[in-house]
Amino acid sequence: MVTRITLDGLPAGITLTAARKGEKAQVIARNYLTTADGEEFTIALEGITGYFLSKMPSSSLVVESQIDHLLAIINRDKSAIIYINELQTIAKLRLKQLEINKGDLIRKDDVIDVVKLSFGNIRIPPESGIAFLFSLGWRKGLFYDFAPLHNKEVRNYDLETQLGHCFAYLSHPHLFLIKEADWDAMLKEGWFPFRALSDETIKKLVSFSRNGWLIDDLLAPIEAEVRELLSVMHKQWQSNALFKSHLPFIDKALEAFEKQDYITTTSLLYPRIEGLMRTLSNEFFGTKNPSQKDMSNLVVSVREAEFHSNSLLLPKRFEAYLNQYYFASFNTEKIPLSRNSISHGAAKAEDFNLKASLLGFLILSQIYYLLPDQASQH
């Protein structure tokens, strides 16, 4: 259903505080809410959609429970166009496969990241207001921005990227609703929700952290998953010029891994991960001798402008992971396996194990996803 309507007045936003006549109230002109926000979401949804639906002709009877998605584009002259269950939403995704053919089925596990979301030929002028309600399964999201309607300025951000941010959050809530205590538990065991892993495995990592269970109990299924992915990972690394000088060492690590020689695998992988970060630092930032903290930051900064705050790659979280796990410091009383304990000959032989090898490959894969495609120079 597509309906053009005329409004009595321009919407300003959702009030944060109650106010009597003549009193001031705080109003949010732009926001994104989901079903995870509970009553706040319901109130905003009823207020915004109720306002637009009430202006539609009586012949356009709409049952709220049957609305899968709704897009309202509001102009400064108080005219608006409402799309209900009519949109062709187009998501721009980064995929794990190097090649994909027209007509191929894309699964959730094929997605590295959500980049943008658009509506085909529908154009939303930068001076117009917008309200967008959408559904993914039982979850719903509501984004609105009425700010351009009340000043002479136009929207100063990329709307399609913002909508991609909204879509990513609603499609992967298990990544963005992780509590700090759960992050601490995951990092303490050396794990991270690597994008190479299946969505189901990532959900288990989060669940085990939340419930205080030993994540290493998932080692067997993670090993099976990584072994199945290694050939794809290897092709990806071969496709990126930044990996070129490191591939001979990675290839030897792969050979050792196949023989279950985890001491050799880990000994080769961990220095090469730093080597790759140094190559990146030199090629893109001209930094010859970066600190370890700088290297962790540069890995997630090289295409920072492309990432919205709900990037499925969790770049800032990964930066923290590199600093706390991969570059972990050590002393005579506590010697975790890390780049530093390995390079100083302090790491214990029993820690050069299957888990360390798997983490090495997964870290390499995560870094690959953060690097520019086919990278060789600026």
**What are 133's strand-pairing partners?**
70, 142
Nearest to 124 by CA among 93, 145, 153: 145
- Confirm if 242 and 283 have CB atoms less than 8 A apart: yes
Diameter of the chain measured on Cα atoms = 78
pLDDT at 376: 39
Q: CA of 27: how far to CAs of 133, 143, 146, 204, 234, in Å?
A: 20, 15, 11, 39, 51
Lookup: tokens for 123: 């154009």
Cβ partners under 8 Å of residue 252, min gap 6: 264, 268
Phi, psi of 298 (to 5 degrees): -65, -35
Q: CA of 260: how far to CAs of 28, 100, 106, 358, in Å?
A: 57, 33, 33, 11
Residue listed under structure tokens 């990996």: 243
* pTM (predicted TM-score): 0.86
CA distance 325 to 303: 23
What averages of pLDDT result for each successive group of 10 residues across the chain (378 residues)? 84 72 74 90 86 74 81 90 87 78 75 88 90 90 89 84 91 89 92 94 94 94 95 90 93 96 96 93 82 88 81 92 90 85 90 95 94 56
pLDDT at 377: 36
CA distance 1 to 4: 10
Domain boundaries, the chain: 2-171, 179-370
Residue 128, H or E segment: none
Residue 108, H or E segment: none
Taking the CA atoms of the chain, what radius of gyration do you get in angstroms? 25
- Confirm if 340 and 332 have CB atoms less than 8 A apart: no
pLDDT digits (tens, 9 = 90+) for 181-207: 999 999 999 999 999 999 999 999 999
pLDDT at 50: 82
**What are 28's strand-pairing partners?**
14
> Residue 145, CB half-sphere, CA atoms under 13 Å: how many?
17
- Confirm if 239 and 374 have CB atoms less than 8 A apart: yes
- Confirm if 167 and 120 have CB atoms less than 8 A apart: no
